[in-house]
């Protein structure tokens, strides 16, 4: 983890403060835009019996399933991403699934907690969106508003690319899409490629039909966004992929964050950036 500046310490307190408000039931909202600059994680909680196969699914499909941390069975504390936090209380809202069926959306899962629960924290594209914005590349869904007046969610699509299965976990790669002009694409690729912990570089671009997407205006999740003349749709592996595989596996119980209601970590977005390459070619070295 990188060195913290004074400003970063203040922000870390903001992350702790947001989690405290979640814990006390005072913050029950989507986390988009909260504690800017800090990592927000997808959360999947499963019985240990299913944990090996799910961990293997993530290991085999690292682009859509970038693991940030896996807890010890029964331990609700994510010691790397947010020491002292409690995954049973510190998310604003959860979703509970039984045999793949949605059954409840509680704001706390203390009553459901079991000593064999393993928690998986997975990277989320919020992290690289900050880096895209910082580089002057717009992020279309953050610029547009839906009919309800709210900022849009990124459009997500089921593809015809199968993930590598692991035990009962299987399913298609799901991608998110952001439009860029051809001359912006190289920078968008290079910036996001520095963040392998949050999906990394795109998996495809240009022709949606080539990966089984029939109509960009009808995303499977999230909101359609405008594709302007001269823009290419650019597709990144998406954190909905493991959720879809999770539900296909029909575990007796599974708990995830509610969509958009992420776990806010103590780690800064830039701490997930791969060490930047040194620019000089090797030929100049001894």
Classify each residue of 27-48 as buried b or exposed e, where b means 16 or more C-beta atoms within 10 Å of its C-beta. Answer: beebbeebbebbbbbbbbbbee
Does 51 help bind its own copies (rule: CB under 8 A)? yes
Query: What is the smallest separation between the CB atom of 253 and its own copies, expressed in angstroms?
Result: 17
Q: Whose structure tokens read 């064999």?
A: 116
Tell me how far apart the alpha carbons of residues 162 and 265 are, in angstroms, rounded to a whole number. Answer: 31
Enumerate helices (H) and strands (E) in the chain, giving the number of each. 6, 11
Among 5, 10, 13, 59, binds its own copies (CB under 8 A): 59
50 or 235, CB closer to its own copies? 50
Residue 286 interacts with its own copies (CB under 8 A): yes or no: yes
Smaller CB distance to its own copies: residue 191 or 250?
A: 191
Q: Does 278 sit near its own copies (CB under 8 A)?
A: yes
**How far is the C-alpha of 272 from the C-alpha of 275, rounded, in Å?**
9
Candidates 8, 56, 151, 170; binder of its own copies (CB under 8 A) is 56
Q: Which two tokens stand for residue 176?
A: 């998110």
Output the DSSP codes for 29-65: S--TTSSTTEEEEEEEEEEHHHHHHHHHHHHH-TTT-
4, two tokens: 């913290």
Query: Does position 280 bind its own copies by CB under 8 A?
Result: yes
Tokens representing residue 262 in the block: 């992420």
Cβ 114 vs Cβ 87: under 8 Å:
no
Q: Is 170 in the site for its own copies (CB under 8 A)?
A: no
**Interactions with its own copies, residue window 177-236 (CB under 8 A):** 183-184, 186-187, 190-191, 193
Q: CB 277 → its own copies: shortest distance, Å?
A: 3
Residues 151/145, Cβ–Cβ less than 8 Å: yes
Question: In the stretch 106-135, what mask flags binding to its own copies with x, by CB under 8 A?
Answer: -----------------------------x
Q: Which is nearer to its own copies, 203 or 213 (CB)?
A: 203
Would you count residue 166 as binding its own copies (CB under 8 A)?
yes
Of the two residues 151 and 187, which places its CB atom closer to its own copies in the complex? 187
**CA-wise closest residue to 54 among 276, 247, 259:** 247
Interface residues with its own copies (CB under 8 A)? 48, 51-52, 55-56, 59-60, 67, 70, 72-73, 135-136, 166-167, 183-184, 186-187, 190-191, 193, 275-282, 285-286
């Amino acid at each position: 983890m990188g060195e913290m500046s004074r400003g970063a310490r203040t922000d870390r307190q903001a992350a702790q403060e947001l989690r405290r408000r979640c814990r006390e039931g005072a913050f029950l909202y989507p986390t988009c835009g909260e504690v800017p600059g800090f990592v927000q994680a997808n959360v999947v909680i499963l019985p240990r019996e299913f944990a090996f196969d799910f961990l293997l699914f993530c290991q085999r499909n690292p682009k859509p399933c970038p693991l940030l941390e896996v807890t010890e069975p029964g331990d609700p504390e994510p010691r790397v991403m947010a020491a002292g936090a409690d995954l049973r209380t510190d998310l604003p809202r959860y979703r509970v699934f039984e045999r793949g069926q949605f059954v409840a959306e509680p704001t706390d899962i203390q009553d459901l907690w079991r000593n064999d629960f393993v928690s998986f924290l997975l990277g989320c594209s919020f992290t690289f969106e900050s880096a895209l914005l910082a580089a002057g590349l717009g992020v279309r869904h953050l610029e547009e508003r839906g009919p309800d007046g709210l900022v849009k969610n990124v459009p997500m699509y089921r593809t015809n690319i199968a993930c590598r299965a692991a035990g009962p976990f299987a399913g298609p790669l799901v991608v998110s899409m952001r439009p860029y002009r051809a001359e912006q694409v190289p920078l968008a690729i290079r910036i996001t490629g520095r963040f392998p912990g949050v999906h990394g570089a795109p998996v495809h671009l240009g022709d949606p039909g080539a990966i089984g997407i029939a109509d960009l205006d009808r995303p499977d999740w999230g909101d359609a966004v405008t594709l302007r003349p001269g823009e290419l749709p650019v597709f990144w592996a998406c954190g909905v992929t493991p959720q879809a595989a999770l539900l296909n596996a029909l575990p007796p119980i599974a708990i995830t964050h509610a969509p958009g209601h992420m776990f806010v970590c103590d780690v800064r977005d830039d701490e997930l950036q791969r060490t930047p390459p040194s620019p000089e070619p090797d030929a100049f070295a001894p």
